[in-house]
């Protein structure tokens, strides 16, 4: 990819990230983004079709990064009853989410938070699917997975709203307690 493109794309992401620290996505204008990124209007639209497209691209980047780097490998884990692997894995995810805090807090706070949380839930749905044997089988499997992924996403939202005052380990532990997997 052309170095100029890389530079511009990064400048736009950085500008949006900076703006998201102080205001919600809905209230940010393209003009503000290109002023801070120090690029021309036409350049912005050469990179992203719309402002929403930018948000989606940014979310995808962040999310992909979180779920592909630094997590314990699947092959190293076992899914046996009572294993602490799920809690460890959730803790790792929380660590990565916190690293992206400056971007995520602004995104999650507003109406656009659902977009990102939707991505997160999708991945969590798969993740929990591999641990489902550990859980209560007396409810429909789909209900179970929705409950687990939805409530973890809710925990993330709570955590970001309190400005990540608790540690990732604590939050993972709170969550495990709530879903009946108290250590």
Partner DNA sequence: GCGATAAGATACACTTTGTTCTGTAAATAA
Partner DNA sequence: TTATTTACAGAACAAAGTGTATCTTATCGC
86 contacts 149 by C-beta, under 8 angstroms: no
Interacting partner of 111 out of DNA, a second copy, none (Cβ under 5 to 8 A depending on kind): a second copy
Tokens of 114: 């659902």
Interacting partner of 56 out of DNA, a second copy, none (Cβ under 5 to 8 A depending on kind): none
- The rounded distance, in Å, linking the Cα atoms of 9 and 156 is 28
Torsion over CA of 39, 44, 46 and 51, rounded to 10 degrees? 170
Residues 159-178 that bind a second copy (CB under 8 A): 162, 166, 174-175, 177-178
- Near a second copy by CB under 8 A: residue from 110, 115, 164, 167: 115
Residue 164: closest CA among 116, 98, 114, 100: 98
Task: Give whichever of 38 and 140 is closer to a second copy, judged by the CB atom.
Answer: 140
Per-residue DSSP letter, 72? P
Tokens of 78: 């076992």
- Near a second copy by CB under 8 A: residue from 2, 111, 133, 183: 111
Q: Which residues bind a second copy (CB under 8 A)?
A: 26, 111, 114-115, 136, 138-140, 142-144, 146-147, 150-151, 153-155, 157-158, 162, 166, 174-175, 177-180
């Amino acid at each position: 990819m052309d170095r100029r493109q890389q530079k511009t794309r990064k400048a736009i992401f950085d500008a949006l990230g900076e703006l998201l620290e102080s205001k919600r996505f809905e209230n940010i204008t393209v003009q503000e983004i290109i002023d801070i990124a120090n690029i021309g209007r036409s350049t912005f639209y050469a990179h992203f079709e719309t402002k929403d497209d930018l948000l989606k691209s940014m979310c995808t980047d962040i999310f992909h990064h979180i779920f592909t780097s630094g997590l314990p490998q699947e092959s190293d884990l076992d899914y046996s009853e009572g294993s602490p692997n799920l809690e460890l894995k959730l803790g790792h995810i929380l660590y990565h989410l916190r690293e992206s805090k400056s971007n995520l807090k602004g995104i999650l706070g507003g109406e656009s938070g659902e977009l990102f949380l939707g991505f997160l839930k999708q991945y969590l749905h798969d993740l929990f699917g591999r641990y489902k044997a550990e859980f209560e089988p007396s409810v429909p499997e789909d209900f179970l997975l929705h409950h687990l992924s939805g409530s973890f996403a809710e925990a993330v939202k709570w955590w970001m709203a309190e400005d990540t005052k608790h540690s990732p380990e604590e939050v993972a532990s709170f969550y495990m307690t709530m879903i009946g997997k108290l250590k």
